[in-house]
Structure 1
């Protein structure tokens, strides 16, 4: 899951770099200066760090996008979301960007609730420091693969203060009770799912599909029909559930896409994602 996702991220970086214009990079000396703070600590563990990119001329109305990397819940790093960070900063320069690491799962530490707790800590810190950073408490998420799963899950069932206005899932798992997972003979997939201890109650609790309500935030979904790790039913099932609850959403399934895509499909993703953020965040 980690290696395949890098195809999407690297190609995304190519498209956003080639689309950068001189105007977006010209400083406004009359505005509040842009500020980047790298590796801020939000906990005592080495992985509990985040980067924050604050735009110039920001205010308490400045919206925030939080990026969550993938890696099968047990690998990966925030640097893998740099392409998305650059995309937001260049195409939507009025938005503050958070790129966070979280504790990785291992034999003694399952992903849930540990990684959701880490998102809790980051969101709480941003809320407590909103005045200092000059940012709004309204947030959105962009997650890839396992990071998309965590973004959806936190937005649907752990956002007790209703701060999330939109969430983007790029090839994120949505239903860990899906028969396509439960009955899978794919050894790599079995290892990933076994991190959640194969308890049906836990698998339901950590499945975003079962956490959707009529008040869930606007959701945009991107999936590849040829993805070897994310069955088509994952994206389609969540789309149907969002329709059932009348939640604002968009869904795109690329016929030739895998656990990532390139070319015109990737350009389509960037155009749709930018428009969705502008409309909903």
Structure 2
């Protein structure tokens, strides 16, 4: 899956120990701090960057950025453009930008990439950063899929309060995908060399839409009507599940947009809606 975070957020930038709930334990007047290339696990790919605001407390909320790349490529540096944009709009929030182990034909992405997100969250909760356990995920493409799947299925304490999917796949049982040989080949890095007919349960297991419940976090979705990789039905199927569960969600379709390669007016609209969503809901 083609990775598009750099172009997506370049324009956005141009425009624009676990935390303790007892505030008496906070250290006052902490300075802003940037920590890069932090290891959250033993693997060389298990790295993250942390951006901590000044005067943070145990109520400081945290954005988590998850890069795309078809589960098999990309890195957190691809999400670098969004960091200053978020810092400008949300100066009192912390930001975590993470890498995860990439999938290969012999070492599929699932479940290790979900495990990595869980490990990264555990790490930052125990690192003494003086931030809260309230998270807002922003994922692009494959990173959006991982953000949704983690938030809906693998967050038992419901610490993810809001999640944003930017052109992310949501339902691999979609008839628009089933039987498509190009799609099944592209999914190999995620689940291995297995077809839907061979293991439909696995395809459902890695589909975020399958795991929507009334406890799912509020969700915002951005998709392109001309996306060659993500059919519009991926967004509408997820929205239908969220609506049925009574979960607040926003869905925006840009009819002429592709896989994130959107024109300037679309980018400005995207930025405005993204910021408004997190201001109101996170």
SS in 2 for 1:8: helix
Residue number in structure 2 paired with 1:280: 281
Distance in 1 of aligned mates of 2:99 and 2:2: 15
Question: Contact conserved, 1:11 with 1:262, CA < 8 A, in 2?
Answer: no
SS in 1 for 2:86: helix
**Displacement, 1:159?**
0.3
Q: Equivalent residues in 2 for 1:1-281 (5 A)?
A: 1-16=1-16, 31-129=29-127, 132-185=128-181, 187=182, 189-195=183-189, 196=191, 197-198=194-195, 199-260=199-260, 261-281=262-282
**Displacement, 1:5?**
4.8
When normalised by structure 2's length, the TM-score is: 0.90
**Displacement, 1:11?**
2.8
Q: CA RMSD in A?
A: 1.4
Distance in 1 of aligned mates of 2:5 and 2:32: 30
Unaligned 5+ segments in structure 1 are: 17-29
**Displacement, 1:218?**
0.4
Question: Contact conserved, 2:5 with 2:78, CA < 8 A, in 1?
Answer: no
Distance in 2 of aligned mates of 1:215 and 1:257: 31
Question: Contact conserved, 1:174 with 1:207, CA < 8 A, in 2?
Answer: yes
Q: How many residues align?
A: 264
Question: Contact conserved, 2:3 with 2:68, CA < 8 A, in 1?
Answer: no
The superposition leaves residues 83-116 of structure 1 with CA deviations (integer Å, 9 ceiling, x where unpaired) of 2212111111111000000000012111110000
When normalised by structure 1's length, the TM-score is: 0.90
Question: Contact conserved, 1:68 with 1:99, CA < 8 A, in 2?
Answer: yes
Question: Contact conserved, 2:221 with 2:251, CA < 8 A, in 1?
Answer: yes
Distance in 2 of aligned mates of 1:64 and 1:5: 20
